[in-house]
């Protein structure tokens, strides 16, 4: 049999590993800064692009798409070539994948702090960047599938199944969730409204975790754990069951993020059923990985790479047990909107993704540079300090979550809320926020140890070059099944058929859940009193989105006695029909805002945005002083925004659009006049006017500043529905 010589492309793997390390440090550093902002909320006072609401999506995007994404590409590009015994299909596409992905990350790092965001969880990037993501993802897929077609190894190993499913599903999720109507170069509105938008978003959000943070890393687990341990995968049959059941079931589970919301009950219940079923394939994968190490536990004790893998797989098991448990309605009623969810998410991210990435980096760099790891002791130190960091991060957040839930739901004997002031629950969990910051610091310290260890390893080793390999050419074989050949064995040598079946498996759940909610109008009953936002309120809503307020405040009252007593009547699907995008939120660092309209006067909101602590002592909300700057609010696109809303189904009339600027200004002047009821406001307003004139600056009236639009939006929330004690 003729042997063919070729070179594995190690240089592309090196690039992705270095990017993983750089963005890992950046993403974790931003995360630590955010943790400190809970303790020192005004540490970046007056600097809009360093505010919590703008940095929070930067942190999640940096960790998920920059750190984990680059680690995924590094592992896939290394393992795929060796599993298929072929160089990547195209060096040009490999490099386009790398540089395109890094440019997307840079675009995110610039645009998010500047306030360009869609506000949708894990999908905050605006439409031009969304298009770039889709294009680069297609480049990755073409390169991967092209390599499969020119392979020298007929059998597609289990890891490749997971890579295929990842490519297909992420493409489908990203495209459908990112359907939006552009307004300008960096502004768009989701084509979905309210309940529909929420369902599509969490179909995407949950499955972004499933198919970007889970399935590709399961593929890496199936390659690297046996490779490092020098053992075969524990069970080939279990890997088949694990793969197909996981990709079929996962896609149904998104609605468990929307339990007790305005989402139709049938969709919620479907999410619960399939979420509970998910525990079987998830634990099947964990067991398959851990039992692969049977007989080599002595090696685990001394090999830091295997230690990282063991904790990663254990973290995966914990997170995938907890996920189905959190989808149970009685558990979700306690956990949702609390810091319990923060703990849950970080166990998965820090242990499963982080430790898998660390183990892969420690194993790959010495092999590709034909050297040895600079310091095994430092790698072991990284393992232990990182593990301690995870524990000190997660445990306080679990405690904080339990404490929040119990305090929110407590009643006095006379039927009143024991803790009627939301701030009382915040002050009680501050010690847990301190501990979280300590845990995050330890985890980041471990990352910096890795940086030093890898830098020294590379300095003391050969340059990472392409690797010579040799394998026989692939022999032509009939597409038909051999006599006695099992169906799945036949499928494992047919990448196109496997891709088609995987696509069908992931589409079924999405179609059954989403199509009825989007297409059947009667599923979202209308409420005649619900009207579109005024032009000023629409501008205020965009400011609310720009500042990332949804990161800390929900707008969805659940049907619990405690929430109805605290906030007002439960949320109804018809209230959100003009919301593009929806703003239900996923965390309550502050109280729910769905019924806040007219609860406080305009001066209260004015002072609250200027200095939250002056209104609520002990508040951890930062100030938003740039909203008060002596510069006019940009209202140049108001009419264009209203026309876009009409396209999306919002019933603005031509007269309303034509009078948009006039109506906006009239409402703004009315709010300014109400602010003058406060003598302190009048005094400071006149003083600032005199100072501006003394400096020769043009003085911008308060009714033209951004704060007035945001107040207008806040005062509108919930007022379409009659709410008891709202005034």
Query: Reduced to 3 states, what is the DSSP secondary structure of residue 103?
Result: helix
Rounded to an integer, the average pLDDT of 354-358 is 98
**Cα-based distances in Å from 587 to 496, 539, 549, 590:** 41, 24, 11, 8
Rounded to an integer, the average pLDDT of 270-281 is 94
Rounded to an integer, the average pLDDT of 659-678 is 97
Distance, CA of 328 to chain centre: 22
Distance, CA of 503 to chain centre: 23
pLDDT in tens, 652-663: 999 999 999 999
Architecture of domain 535-716: Orthogonal Bundle (1.10)
614 pLDDT more than 90: yes
Rounded to an integer, the average pLDDT of 318-340 is 96
Which pLDDT belongs to residue 227?
96
Q: Are 166 and 244 in contact (CB under 8 A)?
A: no
Q: Are 502 and 160 in contact (CB under 8 A)?
A: no
Percent of the chain with pLDDT over 70: 98
Bridge partners of residue 5, in order along the sequence: 470
What DSSP assignment string belongs to 183-225?
A: EETTEEEESS-HHHHHHHHHHHHHHHHHHHTTHHHHHHHHHHH
231's CB contacts (< 8 A; 6+ apart) are 292, 293, 294, 295, 296
| Torsion sign across C-alpha atoms 373, 374, 380, 383 | negative
726 pLDDT more than 50: no
Q: What is the Cα–Cα distance from 18 to 450, expressed in whole angstroms? A: 12
Q: CA nearest 512: which of 267, 204, 327?
A: 267
- Beta 187-190 vs 180-184: how paired, if at all? antiparallel
Residue whose token pair is 């019933």: 651
* Structure token pair of residue 110: 């610039």
Helix, strand, coil fractions of the chain, as percent rounded to 5: 65, 5, 30
Rounded to an integer, the average pLDDT of 198-203 is 95
Q: Are 43 and 625 in contact (CB under 8 A)?
A: no
Which pLDDT belongs to residue 20?
98
Residue whose token pair is 């295997």: 306
Annotated binding site for heme b: 59, 344, 346
What DSSP assignment string belongs to 149-167?
A: HT-S--S--HHHHHHHHHH
484 pLDDT more than 80: no
Q: What are phi and psi of 153, to 5 degrees?
A: -110, 115
Annotated binding site for Cu cation: 206, 256-257
Rounded to an integer, the average pLDDT of 404-422 is 96
Rounded to an integer, the average pLDDT of 438-461 is 97
pLDDT in tens, 530-550: 999 999 999 999 999 999 999
Q: Which residues of 530-539 are buried (b: 16+ CB within 10 A; e: fewer)?
A: eebbbbbbbb
Q: What is the Cα–Cα distance from 458 to 373, expressed in whole angstroms? A: 9
CB atoms within 10 A of CB 574: 18
Q: Say yes or no: do domains 3-475+494-514 and 535-716 share a fold.
A: no
Which pLDDT belongs to residue 76?
98
Q: What is the Cα–Cα distance from 580 to 145, expressed in whole angstroms? A: 37
Bridge partners of residue 417, in order along the sequence: 411
Residue whose token pair is 């599509």: 200
Which pLDDT belongs to residue 478?
63
Which pLDDT belongs to residue 522?
64
Annotated binding site: 59, 206, 256-257, 344, 346
Give 483's pLDDT tier (boundaries 50, 70, 90): confident
The per-residue pLDDT of the chain, averaged, comes to 95
Which pLDDT belongs to residue 727?
38
Q: Is the peptide bond before 85 cis (omega within 30 degrees of 0)?
A: no
Query: Reduced to 3 states, what is the DSSP secondary structure of residue 337?
Result: strand
Greatest pairwise CA separation for the chain in angstroms: 94
pLDDT in tens, 35-69: 999 999 999 999 999 999 999 999 999 999 999 99
Distance, CA of 415 to chain centre: 38
Q: Is 316 exposed, middle or buried (0-12, 13-18, 19+ CB in 10 A)?
A: buried
Q: What is the Cα–Cα distance from 567 to 333, expressed in whole angstroms? A: 16
pLDDT in tens, 545-583: 999 999 999 999 999 999 999 999 999 999 999 999 999
Q: Dihedral (C-alpha) 441, 443, 449, 450: value to the nearest 10 degrees? A: -150
**Cα-based distances in Å from 112 to 64, 82, 162, 575, 606:** 15, 38, 31, 29, 25
Helix axis angle, 236-250 to 158-177, nearest 10°:
10
Q: Where are the domains of the chain?
A: 3-475+494-514, 535-716
Q: CA nearest 603: which of 594, 595, 614?
A: 614
Q: Are 499 and 162 in contact (CB under 8 A)?
A: no
Bridge partners of residue 337, in order along the sequence: 587
| Torsion sign across C-alpha atoms 292, 297, 299, 305 | positive
CB atoms within 10 A of CB 289: 26
480's CB contacts (< 8 A; 6+ apart) are none
**Cα-based distances in Å from 549 to 56, 119, 266, 363:** 10, 9, 30, 42
441 pLDDT more than 80: yes
434 DSSP assignment = H
Superfamily covering domain 3-475+494-514? Cytochrome c oxidase-like, subunit I domain (1.20.210.10)
Which pLDDT belongs to residue 516?
83
Q: What is the pTM of this model?
A: 0.95
Bridge partners of residue 190, in order along the sequence: 180
Q: Are 311 and 283 in contact (CB under 8 A)?
A: no
pLDDT in tens, 5-30: 999 999 999 999 999 999 999 999 99
Give 521's pLDDT tier (boundaries 50, 70, 90): low
């Amino acid at each position: 049999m003729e042997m063919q010589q070729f070179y594995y492309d190690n240089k592309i793997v090196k690039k992705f590993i270095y990017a993983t390390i750089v963005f890992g440090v950046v993403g974790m550093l931003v995360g630590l800064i955010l943790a400190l902002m809970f303790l020192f909320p005004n540490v970046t006072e007056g600097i809009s692009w360093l505010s919590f609401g703008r940095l929070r999506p930067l942190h999640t995007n940096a960790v998920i798409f920059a750190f984990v994404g680059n680690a995924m590409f590094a592992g896939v590009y290394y393992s795929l070539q060796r599993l298929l015994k072929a160089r990547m299909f195209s060096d040009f596409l490999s490099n386009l994948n790398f540089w395109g992905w890094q440019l997307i990350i840079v675009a995110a790092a610039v645009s998010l702090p500047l306030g360009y965001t869609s506000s949708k969880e894990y999908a905050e990037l605006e439409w031009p960047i969304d298009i770039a993501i889709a294009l680069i993802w297609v480049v990755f897929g073409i390169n991967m599938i092209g390599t499969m077609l020119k392979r020298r190894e007929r059998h597609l190993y289990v890891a490749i199944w997971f890579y295929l499913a990842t490519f297909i599903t992420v493409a489908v999720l990203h495209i459908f969730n990112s359907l939006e109507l552009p307004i300008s170069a960096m502004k768009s509105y989701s084509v979905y409204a309210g309940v529909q938008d929420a369902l599509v978003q969490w179909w995407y959000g949950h499955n972004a975790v499933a198919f970007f943070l889970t399935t590709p890393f399961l593929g890496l687990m199936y390659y690297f754990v046996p490779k490092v341990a020098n053992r075969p995968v524990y069970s080939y049959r279990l890997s088949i069951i694990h793969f197909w059941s996981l990709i079929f079931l996962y896609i149904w589970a998104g609605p468990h993020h929307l339990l007790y919301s305005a989402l139709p009950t049938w969709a919620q219940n479907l999410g619960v059923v399939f979420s509970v079923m998910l525990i079987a394939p998830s634990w099947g994968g964990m067991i398959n990985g851990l039992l692969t190490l049977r007989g080599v536990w002595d090696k685990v004790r001394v090999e830091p790479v295997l230690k990282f893998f063991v904790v990663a797989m254990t973290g995966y098991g914990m997170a995938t047990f907890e996920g189905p448990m959190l989808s149970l309605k009685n558990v979700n009623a306690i956990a949702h909107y609390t810091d319990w969810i923060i703990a849950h998410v970080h166990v998965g991210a820090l242990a499963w993704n982080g430790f898998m990435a660390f183990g892969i980096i420690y194993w790959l760099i010495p092999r590709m540079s034909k050297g040895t790891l600079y310091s095994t002791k430092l790698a072991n130190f990284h393992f232990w300090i990182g593990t301690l960091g995870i524990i000190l991060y997660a445990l306080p957040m679990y405690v904080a979550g339990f404490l929040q839930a119990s305090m929110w739901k407590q009643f006095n004997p006379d039927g009143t809320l024991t803790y009627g002031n939301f701030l009382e629950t915040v002050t009680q969990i501050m010690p847990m926020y301190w501990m979280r910051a300590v845990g995050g610091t330890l985890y980041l310290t471990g990352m910096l140890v890795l940086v030093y260890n890898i830098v020294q390893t590379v300095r003391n080793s050969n340059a990472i070059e392409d690797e010579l390999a040799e394998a026989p050419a692939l022999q032509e074989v009939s597409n038909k099944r051999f006599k006695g050949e099992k169906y799945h064995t036949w499928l494992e040598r047919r990448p196109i058929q496997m891709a088609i079946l995987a696509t069908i498996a992931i589409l079924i759940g999405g179609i059954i859940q989403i199509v009825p909610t989007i297409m059947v109008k009667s599923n979202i009953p209308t409420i005649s009193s619900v009207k579109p936002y005024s032009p000023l309120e629409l501008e205020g809503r965009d400011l609310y989105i720009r500042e990332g307020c949804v990161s800390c405040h929900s707008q969805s009252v659940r049907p619990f006695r405690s929430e109805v007593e605290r906030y007002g009547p439960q949320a109804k699907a018809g209230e959100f029909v003009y919301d593009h995008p929806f703003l239900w939120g996923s965390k309550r660092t502050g109280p729910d805002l769905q019924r806040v309209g007219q609860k406080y006067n305009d001066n209260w909101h004015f002072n609250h945005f200027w200095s939250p602590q002056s209104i609520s002592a002990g508040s951890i909300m930062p100030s938003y002083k740039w909203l008060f700057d002596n510069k006019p609010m940009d209202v140049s696109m108001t009419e264009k925004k209203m026309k876009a809303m009409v396209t999306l189904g919002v019933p603005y009339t031509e007269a309303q659009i034509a009078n948009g600027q006039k109506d906006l200004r009239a409402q703004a002047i009315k709010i300014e006049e109400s602010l003058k009821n406060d003598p302190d406001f009048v005094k400071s307003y006149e003083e600032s006017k005199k100072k501006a004139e003394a400096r020769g600056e043009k003085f911008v009236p308060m009714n033209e500043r951004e704060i007035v639009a945001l107040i207008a939006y806040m005062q509108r929330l919930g007022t379409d529905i009659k709410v008891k004690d709202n005034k």
